[in-house]
Amino acid sequence: MSDHLLIKRMAIMGVGLIGGSLALALKEAGAVGEVIGCGRGKPNLEKAVELGIIDRYTRDPREAVADADLIFLATPVKTLGAVVEQCLPAIKAGAIITDGGSVKAEVVRHIEPLLPDVIHFVPGHPIAGTEQSGAEAAFAGLYRGKRCILTPTAKTDPQALALIEQMWQLAGSIVVKMPMDKHDRILAAISHLPHMVAYSLVNAVGSYDHYEENILEYSAGGFRDFTRIASSDPTMWRDIAETNREALLEMMEQFEVFFAELKADVAAGDGDKLFEFFLRSKQMRDAIL
């Protein structure tokens, strides 16, 4: 094995879209030696070996992390702390744990107090994904050109942070650092709220039972584009909604204000106000996307 590898041995805890894609990207970049996958479902882990995502697997978390230089946590947000608790006794001194969880403050509050000084934790979150889950959904280019946010704390080891920054850069990401609370508020706005709206929209329209036929079958581009993310994994989104509760509620309330304004303009048949509302939105979106 080459001495120039960034990571000699890496354990991926949860070999799905996020963990699998990181393994593939780092393999493609020649940045990692051996990749060990750990999860609960044998068929998914076997598929991951077949697809060349991981070199071998175990369902025993301690066996997975034994002698790993880097441990990547890629299970649903509410399980991340428990995964660390399970494997902690087998983690070697000097190892780095990092994660890809969509919420940061609650994860950091759970994991940091568990760790001795010789085991480092760098909280992270790649802002890239799809509505698909599992090893089969993973692909090497997922992170290319996408931001990855790292949320170091006062306890974060600078050398471990530098290594994780380099790792994401090798996977193709643009690394940004910010405090975890800022991360959680920004993500509530640009990711968590849109998912809540998409899930609500599908439920609302799908429950409309005025006609015998299923009206969703008539859906064309607009509905499909808007609701792609409502096909995302319910476990993942339950965990996000539970762990980023305050920031998400703040954004849901903000959304309600604007939706109420729109509803009032529709009710009043106020064309000027409706035009102004749509134009303001179009200009903001066109400017960034």
Ligand X SMILES: O=C(O)C(=O)C[C@]1(C(=O)O)C=C[C@@H](O)C=C1
The footprint of ligand X (CB under 6 A) covers 102, 127-131, 191, 229, 232
Residue 243 near which of ligand NAD, ligand X, none (CB within 5-8 Å, type-dependent): none
Selection from 129, 126, 64, 124 nearest residue 92 by Cα: 64
Residue 79 near which of ligand NAD, ligand X, none (CB within 5-8 Å, type-dependent): ligand NAD
* Piece of the chain touching ligand NAD by CB under 6 A; list 99-107, 172-180, 246-254, 261-269: 99-107
Cβ-based nearer residue to ligand NAD, 41 or 52: 41
Cβ-based nearer residue to ligand X, 226 or 277: 226
Residue 191 near which of ligand NAD, ligand X, none (CB within 5-8 Å, type-dependent): ligand X
Selection from 142, 91, 146 nearest residue 114 by Cα: 91
Shortest distance in whole angstroms from residue 134 CB to ligand X: 14
Report the greatest alpha carbon distance in the chain: 71
If you search the block for the tokens 């920054």, which residue do you land on? 165
Cβ-based nearer residue to ligand NAD, 11 or 119: 11
Q: How far apart, in Å, do the first and last CA atoms of the chain sit?
A: 43
Q: Are strands 124-126 and 120-122 parallel, antiparallel or unpaired?
A: unpaired
Name which of residues 109 to 128 contact ligand NAD (CB under 6 A).
125-126
Residue 172 binding ligand NAD, by CB under 6 A: no
Name which of residues 4 to 23 contact ligand NAD (CB under 6 A).
13-19
Q: Which amino acid is at 115?
A: L
C-alpha span between 116 and 184 (Å, rounded): 26
DSSP 91: P
